[in-house]
Amino acid sequence: MLNRVNHKIRSYPPQIPSKPFNISTCYRYCEALARSRRHNFPIGSLFSPYKLRKHIFALYAFTYQLGEYIDNPSLSIAHKELDLWESYLETCYHEEDPDHPIFAALQATIVELDLPITPFSSMIAGARLQMGVTQYPTIMDLTRYTDLSAAPMGQLFTYLSKSREPSLLRYAEQLATGIAFASFWQDIAIDLQNNMIYIPLEDFDYFEVTKEDLQQCKQSSQVTALIRYQVARTRTILEHARPLIDGIHSSLAIESALIWLGGMRILDKIAAGGSKTLLQRPYLTSTDKASIVTKALAWNGVRRFF
């Protein structure tokens, strides 16, 4: 639900359309880009309204590219790319023709749904904040990052239903934050290879675990306790987000339930694996996904279709 929900296991990205841009082609490009990474929940599933799917793809394509910039090993190049990305965003709001297919699609989405610029600008600010960081000292520092990088995606998801209700926006922000956190703990081993640890330093000190313990994939009760503590913390965030599924417009009820249930299920797997998640990345199986769909339909299926 945020750029981080698109974790780093992916297929080769699609070819960028050539100019002049055809809006339908741009939306298809966004869809291919969004689907080129695996997720713990479907992106623009068949349970979401057909008319909204292209907008969902445009939002995820925007976050996809932000993730690419964060991964750039050259900070100077990454910052220049973000400067350009920010200029493209401003173009969308100045009624000018965007110079990139993602923004050609995004501009149409922004106009049709009357989306504010603030969530997009916040996500770009989050990408800038993340650059050069290898670990956040405290959970407050990590949350400050996700408040910029993940929570705005929750806002935008709610805006898809044209809702501006403050309580729903807050629940959506918590859902996006919880999903981002779950992705952090799911990808500990992958992030370590890039010299990044999302578990706050203060927790390492409390559980008497070192960065070297994780790098060496140490199998110990302390490492397991450290990881399960992150899971417990994230469950609390997702539980706070739960009212969103019952309160959001029926058109996005099942989609929201799929996201929430997918996050909870991957947390189950991370907790069960404990320190073993350093050796084998947990993931959702076909059986898991089928169960999630069944539960989502049972939860909100009737409200969605009537």
Sort 43 into a burial class: Cβ within 10 Å, 0-12 / 13-18 / 19+.
Answer: buried
pLDDT tens sequence across 25-74: 999 999 998 888 777 777 888 889 999 999 999 999 999 888 888 877 78
Predicted structure pTM score: 0.91
The CATH number corresponding to 3-305 among 3.40.50.300, 3.40.190.10, 1.10.600.10, 3.30.230.10 equals 1.10.600.10
* Helix (H/G/I), strand (E/B), else coil: 116: coil
Question: What ranges in the chain are assigned the alpha helix state H?
Answer: 23-35, 50-70, 75-93, 101-113, 118-130, 139-149, 151-159, 166-186, 188-193, 201-207, 211-215, 221-241, 243-247, 253-273, 286-305
Which residue from 156, 147, 181, 132 is spatially nearest to 7, judged by alpha carbons?
A: 181
The ranges assigned to domains in the chain are 3-305
| The predicted structure's pLDDT at residue 12 | 57
Mean pLDDT of 101-109: 96
DSSP summary character for residue 217: T
> Using CA atoms, how far apart are residues 277 and 227, in angstroms rounded to an integer?
9
Whether the CB-CB separation of 26 and 105 falls below 8 Å is answered with yes
Please name the amino acid found at residue 30: C
pLDDT tens sequence across 151-185: 999 999 999 988 889 999 999 999 999 999 999 99
Whether the CB-CB separation of 280 and 217 falls below 8 Å is answered with no
Chain CA centroid to CA 67, Å: 10
| The predicted structure's pLDDT at residue 306 | 41
Which residue from 238, 262, 247 is spatially nearest to 45, judged by alpha carbons?
A: 262
| 297 Cβ contact list (under 8 Å, min separation 6) | 254
Sort 114 into a burial class: Cβ within 10 Å, 0-12 / 13-18 / 19+.
Answer: exposed
In the block, tokens 């080129």 appear at: 36
Mean pLDDT of 249-271: 95
DSSP string covering 158-183, please? HHTTT---HHHHHHHHHHHHHHHHHH
Whether the CB-CB separation of 10 and 68 falls below 8 Å is answered with no
- In degrees, rounded to 5, the angle at the alpha carbon of residue 103 between the alpha carbons of residues 102 and 108 is 110
DSSP summary character for residue 280: S
> Using CA atoms, how far apart are residues 196 and 180, in angstroms rounded to an integer?
15
| The predicted structure's pLDDT at residue 5 | 41
Q: Looking at 34-38, 110-114, 261-265, which range is the least confident one?
A: 34-38
Tokens read off for 149 = 């990088």
